[in-house]
Amino acid sequence: MAKETIVIKIGTSSLTRPDNGQLALSTIASLVESLTQLRSLGYQVVLVSSGAVGVGCMRLNLTERPKKVSLKQAVAAVGQGRLMRIYDDLFDIFSQPIAQVLVTRRDLMDRSSYLNAYNTFSSLLELGVIPIVNENDTVAVDELKFGDNDTLSALVANLIEADWLFILTDIDRLYSADPRLCPDAQPISFVTVEELAQLKIEDKTTGSQWGTGGMSTKLAAARIATAAGIKTVITHGQKPQNILSILSGESIGTQFEPQQKTDNARKRWIAYGLVPLGKLYLDRGAIKAITQFGKSLLPAGIIKVEGGFAASDAVSLCDEDGKEVARGLANYNQLEIEQIKGQRSEQIENILGYFANETVVHRDNLIVLDPHTNF
């Protein structure tokens, strides 16, 4: 049996005490023990851990999470080293080696960096190491941030072609609303692909005082991961031993049905690694051609262009209402597409004065997204 790869994400709300932001050492110790046990059972394990800013606040005696970007980055720099030391001390008790991996969204946008990250993770896992991942808050610029570690964990799971993504949070499963605020909130144990497409959660919170995520970000992460064919589970962060029970077949937490996994690594990168820098609005004929018949996008099917982007940048392909149906790499920049939109391909040279490609987005650089998936 091939080794299964598991990504576990734990949030600040699970790592710290809600009253004072102090580290919940008993929870961290239980997490470390559970992950070490998973490794002993033959699983390859990656941990995506929040907490650097929270630990930095504690270390600097700050009473609330800083809002200014430069201050938050400085606090993260203080907290990241402290957090890794705690992890290293606890994993060392079990003689389990770990590695710190800090990433930014830009690392996933460049194809060579994306492949290098994949190779690094693969080598670490082959060595029996547990990589501990966090966003490199000290250098990430705001417009290229993951936004939260739920999104980061889903993108890392996609990058390394994981089999499972476990999102550990401060409640036991997904509910129709926050059960701490809405007594009538209904628990949700299993979500099919069709149900996930329609699922809406009344999320009145945006995470704890020390964290950034809420249940809506976890649902968005589940959409990304399941679209990539990854089995996804939301369960209680204070009970990390639940992971082993779930892998043994127990129905704990909320489990999401994955879609069929694709083997095209380049198209996975286009879908999940890149940040679209523009939008192309398409007529119905063009949408049908690319979504049902696997065709390239021609200029004749484009009715509107938005954003400033260069050739080879990622763009969203949208219907007339702005809903993204596909994503791809543009063969022309925004100004060029403005000039050739709605025209036949043989007119490109006459309009631009040169000819680069008869397609605006070639089918080899285009991936059709789940019609209900929002990234």
Best CA proximity match to 330, nearest among 318, 344, 348, 313: 313
Domain membership flag for residue 324: yes
- pLDDT for position 140: 55
Do residues 153 and 165 lie in contact, with contact meaning Cβ atoms separated by under 8 Å? yes
Q: Which pLDDT band holds residue 195 (cuts at 50, 70, 90)?
A: confident
Q: 3-state DSSP call for residue 44?
A: strand
Residue 178 has pLDDT above 80, yes or no: no
Domain membership flag for residue 373: no
Give the mean model confidence (pLDDT) for residues 338-353.
Answer: 96
Contacts of 271 (CB under 8 A, 6+ apart): 227, 228, 327, 367, 369, 375
**β-bridge mates for residue 280, sequence order:** 305, 317
Residue 372 has pLDDT above 50, yes or no: no
Residue 226 has pLDDT above 70, yes or no: yes
Residue 255 has pLDDT above 90, yes or no: yes
Give the mean model confidence (pLDDT) for residues 34-61.
Answer: 92
Best CA proximity match to 25, nearest among 34, 35, 37, 15: 15
Give the mean model confidence (pLDDT) for residues 239-263.
Answer: 90
288 and 255 co-located in one domain:
no
The range of the structural domain enclosing residue 322 comes to: 276-368
Domain membership flag for residue 374: no
363 and 234 co-located in one domain:
no
Residue 1 has pLDDT above 70, yes or no: no
283 and 243 co-located in one domain:
no
> Which CATH number belongs to the domain containing residue 20 in this structure?
3.40.1160.10
152 and 180 co-located in one domain:
yes
Do residues 256 and 191 lie in contact, with contact meaning Cβ atoms separated by under 8 Å? yes
Q: Which pLDDT band holds residue 141 (cuts at 50, 70, 90)?
A: low
247 and 283 co-located in one domain:
no
Domain count for the chain: 2
Domain membership flag for residue 103: yes
Residue 286 has pLDDT above 90, yes or no: yes
Q: Which of 267, 288, 316 is the last residue of a domain?
A: 267
- pLDDT for position 66: 85
Rank 60-64, 137-141, 343-347 by mean pLDDT and report only the highest.
343-347
Domain membership flag for residue 159: yes
Domain membership flag for residue 242: yes
Residue 180 has pLDDT above 90, yes or no: no
Got the DSSP string for 80-110?
A: HHHHHHHHHHHHHHTT--EEEEEE-HHHHHS
335 and 243 co-located in one domain:
no
The share of the chain scoring above pLDDT 90, in percent, equals 57
- pLDDT for position 258: 93
- pLDDT for position 373: 41
Domain membership flag for residue 172: yes
Contacts of 2 (CB under 8 A, 6+ apart): none
Got the DSSP string for 304-366?
A: EEES---TT-EEEEE-TT--EEEEEE-SS-HHHHHHHTTS-GGGHHHHHSS-S-S-SB-GGGE
- pLDDT for position 202: 58
Q: Pseudo-torsion of CA 202, 235, 28, 66, nearest 10°?
A: -20
Domain membership flag for residue 145: yes
257 and 282 co-located in one domain:
no
Give the mean model confidence (pLDDT) for residues 235-244.
Answer: 92
pTM: 0.84
- pLDDT for position 197: 79
248 and 329 co-located in one domain:
no
- pLDDT for position 2: 53
Q: Which of 248, 267, 286 is the last residue of a domain?
A: 267
Residue 187 has pLDDT above 80, yes or no: yes
260 and 330 co-located in one domain:
no
Residue 257 has pLDDT above 90, yes or no: yes
32 and 167 co-located in one domain:
yes
307 and 252 co-located in one domain:
no
- pLDDT for position 312: 92
Q: Which of 267, 297, 318 is the last residue of a domain?
A: 267
Do residues 305 and 297 lie in contact, with contact meaning Cβ atoms separated by under 8 Å? no
260 and 293 co-located in one domain:
no
Q: 3-state DSSP call for residue 242?
A: helix
CA–CA separation, 2 and 15 (whole Å): 32
> Which CATH number belongs to the domain containing residue 325 in this structure?
2.30.130.10
